[in-house]
């Protein structure tokens, strides 16, 4: 039997999600991390050997004791980031989606054919996401493999777990000549090349980066490229990411050109699997949701971005009740903030507006919907457990046997009277900023 010794012990209060509606808070625990970067054991102050474990860790210089106002939380998992769009975060969000893509996004992404342009952008983006407590990210890259590799290398350099996709977009009717794959066969061939390059890169690091099959979305791809990418997903057993039913325009394109909803189109090409993550989904109907549940597909809920481009509010409580997998995404740059704390808050606000309704000219009985608003605890679940389940990762919880992907957060507001751990949790979720995230660990290693 192989025995992996404890190499780090974090002493302090812990807050972790246990299910979509519940959290577990402990005021004083020892979180023991082994040499492989997993949580080996959690020792509560009520356990008989608490003090002996603590003293041994202190004597061997393995003990990290949190300050009285600091709390240990799981690291966040961001299910949807367009890495090349980081320089445009917050730009032109008042434009329609198709105009925003053509005028601002595609010209920017085309610049990544220059690796020297890509390197500083990706280096800064990975650092910013880690600084906000995000330990794992599902990234869209560009069509350019050298730049995509630089993104993966930035993740390795800064100790972030990255899932990186070479974007496929070959449809000449919906993509500009200066920025598209030369053909369907080229899109598929370059994707397979990138997969092999990532496999080689992983031989040099213990923090593995995962290649992802990435058709941009149905309008950007031809049937031939969608078919080839579906075959690659099966051949290499890899995750798939795309957009699905994000806007009236995107939804309408599939109906007009395929006479089917985009979920059905993606499914027919083998792109909806239990390793697929589809972004947005604001316009998914019940047939689509049934398809997603049957296939095990996850939805990346991007609440800030959806305000600008989603044309509707994703009914998160409905998805949770139906046990459809769902996590959170920032959707940089359609979402302007790299903070999943900000996106949790927007998810809660959007759900309340969906429930209560927004048209004051309607009678209250007709104004809203039957979809229940979600809570901070629901949002915390999406950012941790929901994301982990979507990516088939054993992380997202402070629990033995789980990866030590963790963030140390300082209480962002002073306490003027006795507070419960639930109250402290809510104040963290609603008020924490990047400056309050004091330390970040990914697989047991310092990342901030």
Q: Where are the domains of the chain?
A: 6-74+397-446, 76-391
- SS3 of residue 283 by DSSP: coil
pLDDT at 13 over 70: yes
Backbone φ and ψ of 364, nearest 5°: -50, -35
CB atoms within 10 A of CB 55: 11
Query: Among 426, 447, 429, 425, which Cα is nearest to 438's?
Result: 447
Average pLDDT over residues 2-19: 86
What is residue 247's predicted lDDT score, i.e. its pLDDT?
A: 85
CB 297 within 8 A of CB 245: no
Question: To 5 degrees, how large is the angle CA 165–CA 387–CA 341?
Answer: 105
Average pLDDT over residues 19-27: 95
pLDDT at 341 over 50: yes
pLDDT at 174 over 70: yes
**Burial group, residue 337, by CB count within 10 angstroms (0-12, 13-18, 19+):** buried
Residues 6+ apart with CB under 8 A from 445: 37, 159, 207
- SS3 of residue 291 by DSSP: helix
pLDDT at 418 over 50: yes
Same fold, 6-74+397-446 and 76-391: no
Q: What does the pLDDT look like over 261-277, one tens digit per residue?
A: 999 999 999 999 999 99
More confident residue, 4 or 92: 92
Residues 6+ apart with CB under 8 A from 98: 249
Fold of 76-391: TIM Barrel (3.20.20)
What is residue 365's predicted lDDT score, i.e. its pLDDT?
A: 87
Rg, the chain, Cα only: 22
pLDDT at 427 over 90: yes
User: Domain 6-74+397-446's class?
Assistant: mainly beta
pLDDT at 1 over 80: no
What is residue 146's predicted lDDT score, i.e. its pLDDT?
A: 98
pLDDT at 5 over 90: no
- Is cis: bond before 424, omega within 30 of 0? no
Q: Which residues pair with 66 in a beta bridge?
A: none
pLDDT at 80 over 70: yes
**Burial group, residue 335, by CB count within 10 angstroms (0-12, 13-18, 19+):** buried
Confidence bin at 2 (pLDDT 50/70/90) = very low
pLDDT at 350 over 90: yes
pLDDT at 82 over 50: yes
Query: Among 129, 50, 71, 66, which Cα is nearest to 328's?
Result: 129
d(CA 389, CA 385): 6
**Burial group, residue 6, by CB count within 10 angstroms (0-12, 13-18, 19+):** middle
Residues 6+ apart with CB under 8 A from 251: 245, 261, 262, 283
**Tokens describing residue 175:** 């993509």
pLDDT at 197 over 90: yes
Q: Which of 185-189, 242-246, 250-254 shows the lowest mean pLDDT across its residues?
A: 250-254
**Burial group, residue 415, by CB count within 10 angstroms (0-12, 13-18, 19+):** exposed
pLDDT at 256 over 80: yes
Mean pLDDT of the chain: 96
- SS3 of residue 52 by DSSP: helix
pLDDT at 3 over 50: no
Query: Among 146, 152, 102, which Cα is nearest to 122's?
Result: 152
What is residue 389's predicted lDDT score, i.e. its pLDDT?
A: 98
More confident residue, 116 or 98: 116
Confidence bin at 4 (pLDDT 50/70/90) = low
């Amino acid at each position: 039997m192989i025995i992996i010794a404890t190499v780090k012990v974090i002493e302090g209060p812990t807050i972790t999600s246990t299910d979509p509606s519940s959290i577990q808070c402990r005021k004083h625990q020892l979180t023991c991390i082994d040499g492989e970067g997993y949580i080996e054991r959690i020792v509560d102050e009520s356990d008989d050997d608490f003090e002996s474990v603590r003293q041994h860790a202190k004597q061997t210089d393995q003990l990290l004791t949190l300050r009285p106002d600091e709390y240990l939380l799981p690291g966040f998992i961001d299910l949807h980031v367009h890495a090349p769009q980081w320089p445009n975060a917050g730009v032109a969000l008042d434009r329609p989606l198709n105009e925003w893509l053509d005028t601002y996004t595609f010209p920017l992404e085309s610049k990544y054919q220059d690796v020297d342009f890509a390197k500083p952008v990706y280096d800064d983006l990975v650092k910013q996401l880690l600084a906000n407590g995000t330990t794992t990210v599902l990234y869209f890259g560009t069509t350019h493999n050298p730049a995509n590799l630089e993104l993966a290398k930035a993740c390795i350099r800064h100790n972030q777990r990255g899932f990186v996709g070479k974007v496929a977009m070959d449809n000449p009717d919906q993509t500009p000549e200066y920025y598209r794959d030369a053909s369907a066969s080229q899109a598929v061939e370059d994707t397979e090349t990138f997969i092999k390059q990532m496999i080689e890169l992983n031989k040099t690091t213990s923090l593995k980066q995962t290649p992802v099959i990435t058709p941009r979305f149905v309008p950007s791809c031809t049937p031939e490229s969608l078919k080839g990418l579906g075959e690659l997903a099966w051949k290499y057993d890899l995750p798939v990411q795309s957009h699905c039913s994000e806007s009236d325009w995107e939804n309408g394109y599939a109906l007009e050109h395929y006479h089917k909803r985009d979920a059905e189109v993606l499914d027919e090409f083998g792109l909806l699997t239990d390793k697929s993550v589809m972004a947005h989904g604001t316009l998914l109907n019940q047939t689509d949701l049934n398809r997603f549940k049957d296939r095990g597909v996850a939805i990346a809920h991007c609440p800030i971005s959806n305000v600008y481009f989603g044309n509707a509010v994703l009914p998160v409580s409905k998805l949770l009740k139906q046990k459809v997998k769902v996590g959170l995404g920032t959707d940089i740059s359609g979402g302007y903030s790299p903070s999943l704390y900000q996106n949790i808050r927007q998810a809660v606000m959007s759900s309340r507006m969906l429930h209560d309704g927004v048209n004051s000219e309607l009678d209250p009985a007709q104004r809203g919907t039957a979809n229940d608003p979600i809570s901070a605890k629901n949002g915390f679940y999406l950012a941790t457990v929901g994301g982990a389940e979507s990516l088939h990762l054993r992380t997202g919880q402070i629990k033995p046997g789980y990866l030590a992907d963790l963030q140390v957060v300082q209480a962002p507001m002073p306490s003027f009277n006795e507070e419960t751990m639930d109250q402290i949790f809510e104040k963290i979720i609603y008020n924490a900023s990047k400056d309050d995230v004091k330390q970040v660990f990914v697989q047991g290693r310092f990342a901030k």
